[in-house]
Amino acid sequence: MIFKQLLKATITIAAATTATALTQAEQTATPNQVAVTIEDSNFVKSHTPSSFILPSPEGTWTWGMAPIYDDQGKVHLFNSIIDKKGSWIKNSKIVHWVADQPEGPYTLIGDVFVSPDASYHNPQISKVGDTYVLVFLLNRHNDANGSKQEVGIATAKSLTGPWKESPHNPIITATKQNGNHASNPTFVAAPDGKYRIYHKIFNGSRKLGKREIALSMSDNIEGPYERHSEKPVLSYAKQGVDIEDPYAFMYKGMYYMILEDRQNVKAMLEGKPETNAADGGFRPGLIYQSKDGLDWGIPKVGYRTNKTYFGHELARSERPSILWKDGKPDYLYLACHDEDSTAGYILKINNWEGE
């Protein structure tokens, strides 16, 4: 009798646990397969480690790398520089570099966006027709929003500028719906003619909530942008883990998104959740594939770590961004601060044809 009661209780607990795991319909496994194996992607298999690039100018530190080729084959790169006496929240600026090849050396061209009243951070670069599009985290720390992170956008006809900020900036604001936070944008020109920005939000307060990925859309590059849905398109908040740093793109008719696995989503999905996981990119990143850019399914491993690639002491590998050449991915750029005083490292992408 006692055994039957214990068995019944065990089944009840297991069923409740499964039900809890399945409530996040966007990304959890099906009822017949709660735990899944997160496989290596063809994308990660295509990588060859190259080198660390962009040593920090004296007295500063650099972060992130948003690369793009120009028509002459030179590599232009946009990233953040922060004075060591300040902080990225208030003192980050976006700068422009250029090189003859992805490995560098890079020459600093100058500032793109800098202001004593705002922090410009985490840029990503795209081109739509003859227009270059730069999206970024915008923190107008002296305005009435109380230094909340929001999303800005700027356009130019040349990579050397002049860059024009949208009159709608911030195009995605720190609303209650967004958890009073909107940051780390990634821009996609969709086949239906609309413009998509995937971006980070919080479910609840920033201190207590979890990071999720939401989608905002517009008929115009400069906006205004509106949330596609009240719900995020990618979230593991109900499982108690979070993600960030999305890089979304279209390739061979499919949407893809590369993400930092900030709190070990991989282990959670495989049924081996890591308690007290270290926050940040201390583990391999994830890559997702989607037909519509809304339902992202189960991820695969998207990139590995600096320790795996270079044998260095493990550090955070974050802010993925692809350098495209003739419509194909050429290099993956990853921000990383380890024993090298650089912005991060790059990986050659060899003949990847999708998943």
Confidence category of residue 340, pLDDT binned at 50, 70, 90: low
Would you tell me which CATH number, out of the four given (2.115.10.20, 1.10.150.20, 1.10.1040.10, 1.10.10.10), belongs to the domain 35-349?
2.115.10.20
Q: Where are the domains of the chain?
A: 1-32, 35-349
**pLDDT in the model for residue 30:** 34
The pLDDT of residue 338: 81
DSSP code for 57 = P
Report the alpha-carbon distance of residue 5 to residue 42 in Å, rounded: 48
- pLDDT of res. 253: 97
Taking CA atoms, 129 is separated from 126, 158, 214, in Å, by 10, 12, 26
Q: What's the first-to-final CA gap in the chain, in angstroms? A: 52
Query: Average pLDDT for residues 336-343, to the nearest whole number?
Result: 83
Give the range among 19-28, 51-60, 204-213, 321-330 with minimum mean pLDDT: 19-28
pLDDT confidence of 148, banded at 50, 70, 90? confident
For residues 200-215, average pLDDT: 86
CB-based contacts of 156, cutoff 8 Å, min separation 6: 131, 132, 134, 162, 163, 164
Pairing of strands 254-260, 150-156: unpaired
Q: What per-residue confidence (pLDDT) applies to 177?
A: 87
CB neighbourhood size of 117 (10 A): 10
pLDDT exceeds 70 at position 22: no
